[in-house]
Amino acid sequence: MSYKGIEIAASVMCMDWLCIGEQLSTLKQLKIDYLHFDIMDGVFVPTLSIGPLVVNQIRENTTILCDYHIMVEEPRRIFEQYTAEEGSYFSIHYEACRNLHRDLVMLRKLNFRPGLVLNPATTLENIEYVIEEVDKITIMMVNPGYVGQKLVPQTLDKVRKLREWRDRVKYQLKIAVDGNVSFDNIPKMIAAGADTLVVGTSGLFIKGYSLKESYQQLQAAIDEGLTMKENCAN
């Protein structure tokens, strides 16, 4: 259930793995929309992360929908290692695919909701020919692969341009932001046009705060962003 129309995807990579069962239960109570799984191959990005065995074990212990972010060279190689469930997203990088259109069509056939992720340096013009094949576009606000990076300021303009493009052509797609989605940055991201937030160490899993305390601050940041967006529209 989204909060005032803003969907929230909690980054599994940023959870406390010694308390993951407890945190999954709390996220369910908070009505978080998605569990965000960062799948990294050590090639497309320098870091390695979890694979399907760990993902499936987590999925068996929660009913929260999955939001897969695939940071893998030629991601089509691993599509069938993951099981689609109704409403789950499977997002691949523009920069990682030799045949992007083919891969997005394949994801739809596998019953995933196809998503597309753009690195900070990738322009929107590069994806015009596949825009009708996706249900969500994720704008990376930092270069992928590491937590704790500073926001690349120009990415806010990209979110704004994508929102204007979507509104103009009337495509039904979500606009997500990923990377340094913090309490300070969330209002600006929402005002620019984001309607899905991937939250991690700066927006939900914050040292010294319970998940419920962090979620209250997250809601306040969303409220501020929606007010800013409304004011910009008037």
Catalytic one of 33, 67, 178, 195: 178
Please choose, from the candidates 148, 146, 161, 145, the residue with its C-alpha nearest in 3D space to the C-alpha of residue 193. 161
Catalytic one of 38, 67, 103, 135: 38
Active site residue 38: yes
Active site residue 223: no
In this structure, what DSSP letter does residue 88 have? -
For residue 74, the tally of other CB atoms under 10 A from its CB is 15
Please choose, from the candidates 212, 195, 132, 116, the residue with its C-alpha nearest in 3D space to the C-alpha of residue 160. 195
Give CA–CA dist 91/97, Å, rounded.
Answer: 12
List residues bridging with 93 in a β-sheet.
Answer: 117
Which residues have a catalytic role annotated? 38, 178
